[in-house]
Amino acid sequence: MSEWQEFPKIELHLHIEGGAPPEFIRQLASEKGVSLEGVFAEDGAYAFRDFGHFLQVYEAATSVLRTPEDYLRLTRAVLAESAGHGVIYTEMFLSPDFCGGRDLAAWREYLAAIGEGAAQAEREHGIIMRGIVTPIRHFGPDKAKETALCAAETAGDFITGFGIGGDERAGKPRDFAWAFDCAREAGLRLTAHAGEWEGPDSVRAALDDLRVERIGHGVRAIEDPGLVERLARDGVVLEVCPGSNVALGLYPRLEDHPIARLREAGVKVTVSTDDPPFFRTTMTQEYDDLARAFGWGAEDFAEINRVAAQAAFCDEAIRDAIVKRLEAAP
Ligand code: ADE
Ligand code: ZN
């Protein structure tokens, strides 16, 4: 077992469907008599060529998730896996696009099921989950508005954030400003994928036009020293997913990844997996790889988790509880 497996961790960036083990998707497909072609490699893992193809395979795999009960099972499976890697608190991206086609009544049913799965996992494994409602950028701004309305109607103790994922190369952040304004007015905390496939300007646009407090990925900020300074000065938190970036070819090797340079420049970085089985990673694997590539040890990871705890989209009682659990670690 890795020395990092039981180390207590906080994960802020995990797409619920992206956490589905391939066996889980194959099982559902067989139960429903759905044939999934082009989704799996010969060894049974997910197969894709590049980011655009990854998004297609992701949506194809997701197409077997058709009922609230499917999402209850998925939530339990993903949280059990996370808890097995020492995750004590996790935020998951949830998309009304996949959960009832942005119909509010249907979304409420899916959300009740996901909440039930989360409650069961908390009882069984002690892991706490919160949800970030997430439109899919390449589905366009109109669907993002409908998604924001679903988010606003269900904002509360469990749904605490709003974000945007999908193909960052589609449209501009300001096209989604209405959706983000709507979510902010409903009291949701905000994050957006940026600086993954687009450069520093996309990070600036997410901050200026969507007024987010965290950035999903954001790693390409490193290409602009002025932006790095701004992120450090303003305490913007990056949800960095190093294994995802390497698996999708953004950086050839982890040693080339800017996470350590961003951290040294004073930027608040956190560590997440994004879509772990797609990228053949886990939180333990991320820590193993970072320890090897950058020589990070327990104090580095403890500090990263303290940053994540302060940046978590949860209430103060939960924050106190997770900080205590981090502090109790040997
Ligand atoms: N959806 C799932 N994973 C994603 C990623 N890495 N970037 C954008 N959208 C995603
Ligand atoms: Zn992501």
What does the pLDDT look like over 6-20, one tens digit per residue?
999 999 999 999 999
Residue 38 CA to residue 46 CA, distance in Å, equals 9
Q: Is residue 4 part of a domain?
A: no
Q: Is residue 24 part of a domain?
A: yes
Q: Is residue 3 part of a domain?
A: no
307 CB contacts (<8 Å, ≥6 apart)? 237, 268, 269, 270
Point out the ligand nearest to the CA of residue 136. 1
Residues making up the chain, counted from first to last = 330
Number of domains into which the chain is organized: 1
Select from 46, 50, 58, 147 the residue to mutate for testing ligand 1; criterion: most ligand atoms less than 8 Å from CB. 58
Q: Which token pair is 132?
A: 């970030």
Measure 328 CA to ligand 1 centroid, in angstroms.
33
Q: Is residue 2 part of a domain?
A: no
Measure 274 CA to ligand 1 centroid, in angstroms.
7
What does the pLDDT look like over 68-107, one tens digit per residue?
999 999 999 999 999 999 999 999 999 999 999 999 999 9
Show contacts of 205-208: CB within 8 Å, 24+ apart.
205/172, 205/173, 205/174, 206/173, 207/234, 207/236
pLDDT at position 52: 96
Q: Tell which atom from ligand 1 comes closest to the C-alpha of 137.
A: 9
Q: Is residue 1 part of a domain?
A: no
Q: How far is CA 271 from CA 173, 183, 254, 279, in A?
A: 24, 25, 13, 14
Q: Tell which atom from ligand 1 comes closest to the C-alpha of 241.
A: 6
196 carries an active-site annotation: yes
Domain of residue 323: give its range. 9-327
Q: Is residue 303 part of a domain?
A: yes
320 CB contacts (<8 Å, ≥6 apart)? none
Q: What is the pLDDT tens value at each position of the chain, 330 positions in all?
A: 999 999 999 999 999 999 999 999 999 999 999 999 899 999 999 999 999 999 999 999 999 999 999 999 999 999 999 999 999 999 999 999 999 999 999 999 999 999 999 999 999 999 999 999 999 999 999 999 999 999 999 999 999 999 999 999 999 999 999 999 999 999 999 999 999 999 999 999 999 999 999 999 999 999 999 999 999 999 999 999 999 999 999 999 999 999 999 999 999 999 999 999 999 999 999 999 999 999 999 999 999 999 999 999 999 999 999 999 999 977
CATH of the domain at 30: 3.20.20.140
Catalytic pick from 11, 168, 196, 286?
196
Measure 165 CA to ligand 1 centroid, in angstroms.
5
Measure 217 CA to ligand 2 centroid, in angstroms.
7
Q: Is residue 190 part of a domain?
A: yes
pTM as predicted: 0.98
- Strand locations in 230-277, DSSP E? 237-240, 268-271
pLDDT at position 329: 79
Q: Tell which atom from ligand 1 comes closest to the C-alpha of 18.
A: 2
